[in-house]
Amino acid sequence: MPQLTRSDVHVDRPLTLISDATLQDMDSYVNDKVFPVIASIKQSDLYFHYPREYWFQTAATKVAPATETPGSGWHVATKKFFCEEYGLHVDIADQIRQSEDDPIDMNRDATEFITQHLALRREKDFVNRFMSPGVWGGLVTTNSAGVLAPEDFSPDIDWTKANSNPMVDVSRIMSNVRKTTSKRINTMVVADDANEALKQHPLVLDRIKYTETGIVTEQLLARMFGVDKYLVASAVENTAQEGNAGVFDFLVGGKFLLTYSQPSPGILKPSAGYTFAWTGQYGSSANGMRMKNIRMEAIEADRVEGKMAYDQHLVSPDLGVLGVNLLG
């Protein structure tokens, strides 16, 4: 007797409840969390800068009866920002859209794809702008020529060694910055590999062993280092050419960034940096991003286009310090 087979009663079809895609978590990005995002209706503009030299000395003197007080004043400079625009599009051909099976949604997937690319672009710009050598001036030491000069921090003993002391290293840097600016470092950005090294450091483990959970968390590390924000930079990039096997790695490794970031931007308030976002274009979000669906009749396709306009802006180099070679 003939027997039914599986193929007689079932035709394989894609599942509609799940699909597999490895996307980057937005929590991996730190660029929008380190410095305040300042919305700007215009693509470029100016802001006023007050040099601190005039404000950290006193010209006030004792005044005798019937005599004038001494006069004084200060200078004000202007600085310019310009929000460069970045963009990407995906064309969805009518024939392809007509053939898509559930749960494929080309508009949804294209929007997510573009969002991922723009987010990675901005994170790369942040790393290149703020976590490259020679950018910051918050750590001032005497160089080999006997001259006071800013430099990046590199630990005498790397943080993978048990006899290193990351908390003391950071505390000394904070003191150095406060000595020249009066501001307390409030934000610490740590590369993912450096964060993992800290979580296994004997001094860190010793300090948390009596906590409720006994587990090293970012909140505990923030308290240990005395900062309001402790952020882990863990964004990943594939540097291989398209079509080749992926070559994946973190955007940044073995570094930290310490800054004073203004918690409430306003008049006469300092900050190490700002992210200016161009929000004046139609459809722009608070971070300067906008998505458009455009009918491309000439090629019988719908275009999903995303753009983002911003300026990762260095405001006060004296309010930041870069740490390098943390892991040797």
Rg, C-alpha atoms of the chain: 26
Q: Report the share of the chain in percent with pLDDT over 70.
A: 99
Instruction: Report the pLDDT value the prediction gives residue 31, as an integer from 0 to 100.
Output: 96
Instruction: Report the pLDDT value the prediction gives residue 254, as an integer from 0 to 100.
Output: 98
The token pair that represents 191 in the structure block:
């590369």
Domain positions in the chain are: 19-52+74-323
Instruction: Find the mean pLDDT for residues 37-53.
Output: 96
Q: What is the tens place of the pLDDT at every residue in 99-128?
A: 888 888 999 999 999 999 999 999 999 999
Q: What is the tens place of the pLDDT at every residue in 234-252?
A: 999 999 999 999 999 999 9
Q: What is the tens place of the pLDDT at every residue in 146-187?
A: 788 889 999 999 999 999 999 999 999 999 999 999 999 999
Report whether pLDDT(39) > 70.
Answer: yes
Report whether pLDDT(143) > 90.
Answer: no
Per-residue confidence at 212, pLDDT binned at 50, 70, 90?
A: low
The CATH homologous superfamily to which domain 19-52+74-323 belongs is phage-related protein like domain (3.90.1690.10)
Of 14-18, 120-124, 227-231, the least confident: 14-18
Report whether pLDDT(207) > 70.
Answer: yes
Instruction: Report the pLDDT value the prediction gives residue 146, as an integer from 0 to 100.
Output: 77
Report whether pLDDT(214) > 90.
Answer: no
Q: What is the tens place of the pLDDT at every residue in 263-288?
A: 999 999 999 999 999 999 999 999 99
Residue 265 burial by CB count (10 A; 0-12/13-18/19+): exposed, middle or buried? middle
Greater confidence (305 vs 2) lies with 305
